[in-house]
Structure 1
């Protein structure tokens, strides 16, 4: 899919993210105390560098994450194609926590849904999560503010 807005490289916690949306997701993970690695090099993934690896303690390894600026179910397929087909569980994250898709492969699906729900991602019920609950909208705004504040601080140093 061609995006109408180009990704804006963004600095957060000393890491240069390829897009502001990735940086906001990193801040959101921090708010929910989720351990993450950015663009991890993982053996066996052909032609795909995940945006994140989350430390899901009960999975065989990290939970791989791909982030794209999508905000509806109709566009997710093509945008996430590189992330699929590796035989690994993949969490597909859109433009906010309202747009989350889980493609389970190597983890117990129900446990993974509950783990994500407890950490502010999804609602633990379905593949597509259509509503914010448990203060997630507030936490998403906090994550955005953290990233935008950091960005304005860096720009002020020039």
Structure 2
């Protein structure tokens, strides 16, 4: 079932809700970035780091799937791209910091990348204030992609 957000068609309501969430969170997003091997990411997102005294922007390639737990992603290709995109695909995505898995809410998100003097696994709730509230608002911005036929009066 398709969905519409901001005048754009999305393959699923979940993808549309993530797009709305990204806008509400102040993240920049693009749909359908170039494939990485056998993985076709759903989004390329960019967000700034509020944890640092320096202005830093991070970029993720995101897989969106209707999973309600991180474990359900299993060995999904998005999770094999920690700390960047490896050769031979790095020429298509030179500035990407990691692949990421996004499920049915901000509670079901994960990626691993370098951050500051360290790095590790992160999720949306660590980077977006009031993520749950924004998620609820994002749901209200998504419309069904079902086309209604015009009726004659």
TM over 0.5: yes
Q: Note the residue ranges of structure 2 that are not aligned, 5 or more in a row.
A: 49-55, 86-97
Rate the CA distance shift 1:47–1:73 in 2: closer, same or farther, 3 A.
closer
Matched, 1:102 2:95: no
Which structure 2 residues correspond to residues 142-153 of structure 1 after superposition, within 5 A?
Answer: 142-147=137-142, 150-151=143-144
Choose from 80, 86, 89 the match for 1:85: 80
Higher percent of residues as strand: 2
Query: Which structure's relative contact order is higher, taking Cα pairs within 8 Å and 6+ residues apart?
Result: 2
* 1:50-94, Cα deviation, whole Å (9 max, x unpaired): 1100124646x731111111112431214xx13243553112111
Larger Rg: 2
Cα RMSD (Å): 3.1
Match of 1:49 among 32, 40, 51: 40
Residues paired across the two proteins, number: 128
What is the TM-score with the length of structure 2 in the denominator? 0.67
Q: How does 1:56-71 map to 2 (within 5 A)?
A: 56=47, 58=56, 62-71=59-68
Match of 2:130?
Answer: 135
- 2:73 matches 1:76: yes
Deviation at 1:12, TM superposition (A): 1.8
Q: State the shift of 1:26 in Å.
A: 0.3
Partner residue in 2 for 1:40: 33
Gaps of 5+ in 1: 1-7, 125-132
Q: Distance in 2 between matches of 1:109 and 1:75?
A: 29
Runs of 4 or more consecutive aligned structure 1 residues displaced over 4 Å after TM superposition: 109-113, 154-158
Change (3 A) 1:90 1:110: farther
**2:110 counterpart SS class:** strand
Cα deviation digits, residues 19-67 of structure 1 (max 9, x gap):
110100000001111110011126xx212211100124646x7311111
Distance in 1 (CA, whole Å) between partners of 2:117 and 2:15 is: 26
Task: Find out whether 1:123 has 2:130 as its counterpart.
Answer: no
